[in-house]
Amino acid sequence: MNLNNRNRRYRNRLLVSTAMAGATLLGLGQNADAACTPAAPPNYVCSGVNTTGQIVPSGIGLPLDAGDLLTLLLAPANPAVTTDPGFSVSTSDPFALGILGKGAVSYTDANSSALSSTTGIGLGVVSLVPQVAPPYYGPNPGGAVTIDTNGALTGALIGLAAINTGDGATAVNATGDITATGANGYGVLVYSLGSDADVTTGKVSGTNVGISAINQGATAALSITANGDVTGGTGDGIHAVNG
């Protein structure tokens, strides 16, 4: 790999880790609630009808303080979140459901779980680097994001956000209606520094952009499949950047 390209990717990864994951997602004030509970590590199961936002791993709050960062860094890698039938979140908290972790981070929902935040983000899934375990912050730091849900997702800022600051794949399959309701809202926001990014949706609408997908993997492909109307407001219906 060209050294300049590698250094550029490291700088980009650091910028996205701090700016996108930090400011866009982690800077919103919210405490964790325990409707998404640990199962066999590193798994979590979300259940019940909830009016408070859920953060995984449990035991952290937003914005992250030093103790929260330590909890996050020491939590088992590759957190996998699933849902029980009847799970839903409708809240004024900044996240309806936020999932943060290192390594391969996934959310699997086959129960049409509706997630709605009137102030922030319906569903946010973030894979963060650097890590405290190999491969650390090297040429191949790991990290992947996988989302598979048929639930309706609504947020004032973002309906669904998937951010991968590692080198793995980003796969989003979200077939329920996705809506951003606030000013300058994004229905779907996908940002990847890894390998291929595949985005499949149903109906999506945003007050600014319907779907924004940016993949900065060095040799990666970006695919967007919309099985429903995608509409933007002041911006594009679909905004896609690869490379």
Output the pLDDT for position 75: 78
Residue 70 CA to residue 87 CA, distance in Å, equals: 29
Residues in the chain predicted with pLDDT less than 50, given as ranges, are 1-24, 26-27, 29, 131-132, 135-137
Domains in the chain, number? 1
Q: Which residues contact 139 (CB under 8 A, 6 or more apart)?
A: 1, 6
23: exposed, middle or buried (Cβ count in 10 Å: 0-12, 13-18, 19+)? exposed
The answer to whether 140 and 165 are in contact (CB under 8 A) is no
Q: What are 155-184's pLDDT values in tens digits?
A: 999 999 999 988 889 999 999 999 999 999
Which pLDDT tens digit goes with each residue over 97-108?
A: 999 888 899 999
Distances (CA, A) of 163 to 18, 125, 167, 168, 237: 12, 6, 12, 11, 20
Q: Which two tokens stand for residue 148?
A: 């598979």
What pLDDT is recorded for position 9? 46
Q: What is the pLDDT of residues 86-125, one digit of tens each?
A: 999 999 998 999 998 888 999 999 999 999 999 999 999 9
Task: Judge residue 29's burial from the number of C-beta atoms within 10 Å of its C-beta, 0-12 exposed, 13-18 middle, 19 or more buried.
Answer: exposed
Q: Look at the block and give the residue holding tokens 């997908």.
A: 213
- What domain range is 126 assigned to? 3-242
Q: Which DSSP category does 95 fall into?
A: E
Sequence-ordered list of residues with C-beta below 8 angstroms from that of 240, at least 6 positions apart, any chain = 211, 212, 213, 214, 222, 224
- Name which of 66, 1, 73, 61 is nearest 32 in CA terms: 61
* pTM for the model: 0.85
Contact (Cβ atoms closer than 8 angstroms) between residue 215 and residue 170? yes
* Whole-number pLDDT of residue 130: 55
> What tokens appear for 94 in the block?
């900044």
* Spatial CB neighbours of 58, under 8 Å, sequence gap ≥ 6: 32, 33, 34, 36, 37, 38, 44
